[in-house]
Amino acid sequence: MRLQFNAIAQSDLGLVRDGNEDSALISQNLIAVADGMGGHAGGEVASAIAINTLEALLPVIADTSIDIDSREDLFLNLSYEVDAEILRVSKERPELSGMGTTLTALAISNNQVDLLHIGDSRCYLWRDKKLTRLSYDHTVMQELLDQGRLTPDEVFDHPQRSLLTQALMGDSGIDPVLMSYEVKIDDKFLICSDGLTNVLSDLEISKIIKSTKEDQLLAELISETKAKGAPDNITIVWAGLVEDNDTNQVVKFGAAK
């Protein structure tokens, strides 16, 4: 049995930002969120580059005649393509120098998903009413947490919690890793920008998922984030695994529209 994503997404400015630097994509075979950074609309441009580059790869990811290893290699190398394009655009438009983006993308192939992740946007698995984080934050705070120099509570409230150790910024020396996970029908995935996770804890997110109907989930998560100030853009993708029905609608959100 082949599986596909049945996904919904929503992107919101939040309560402080004037523009939306987040981008997202949902499709049958791939879901993704990119959180841009950089002034003079640079973040919007960078996140849109990431999502538009992903969109161009969709036919390859969906092509079952290409072996899995080749598809995985192309998916992994996509991060370098995004990085190179950001560098090219930055050189053409010096006012965008310093722009960059995170990228968290999940592709499905047969009965496994491949996670490509750079930065601090996050990917979670919801299975058996339990929320499990699949991604690893590429932040200074996460490194200090790993070293035992900070506690999770200290990280959550730290003013430098979003200081990245890896991001797509053009010639940025990235070290992308592709993680694969076995999946089953009815698994759910949450991918989001840090506009959500810097405000709501994993426990708070889990409680909202448990208590909210799926068609109201994204609106409720955004509403709760706004109730706590929403200082950043909020972009969320929620996707369940269903039997492949040969339908494919590609939709982009946020800056990549």
Domain 3-254 has CATH 3.30.470.30: no
pTM of the model: 0.94
92-103 pLDDT, tens digit each: 999 999 999 999
| CA–CA distance, 117 with 139 (Å, rounded to integer) | 13
Percent of the chain residues past pLDDT 70, beyond the cut: 96
Percent of the chain residues past pLDDT 90, beyond the cut: 74
- Is there a contact between 155 and 94 (Cβ–Cβ < 8 Å)? no
48-89 pLDDT, tens digit each: 999 999 999 999 888 888 888 898 899 999 999 999 999 999
246 burial type by CB count under 10 A (0-12 exposed, 13-18 middle, 19+ buried): exposed
| CA–CA distance, 105 with 33 (Å, rounded to integer) | 7
Q: What is the mean pLDDT of the chain?
A: 92
Q: In what order do the strands lie in the sheet with 3-12?
A: 3-12, 234-243, 188-192, 122-127, 130-133
77 burial type by CB count under 10 A (0-12 exposed, 13-18 middle, 19+ buried): middle
173-197 pLDDT, tens digit each: 888 889 999 999 999 999 999 999 9
3-state secondary structure (DSSP) of residue 254? strand
| CA–CA distance, 58 with 10 (Å, rounded to integer) | 21
pLDDT of residue 245: 80
Query: Which 8-state DSSP code applies to residue 94?
Result: G
| CA–CA distance, 233 with 230 (Å, rounded to integer) | 7
pLDDT higher than threshold 80 for residue 159: no
Domain ranges in the chain? 3-254
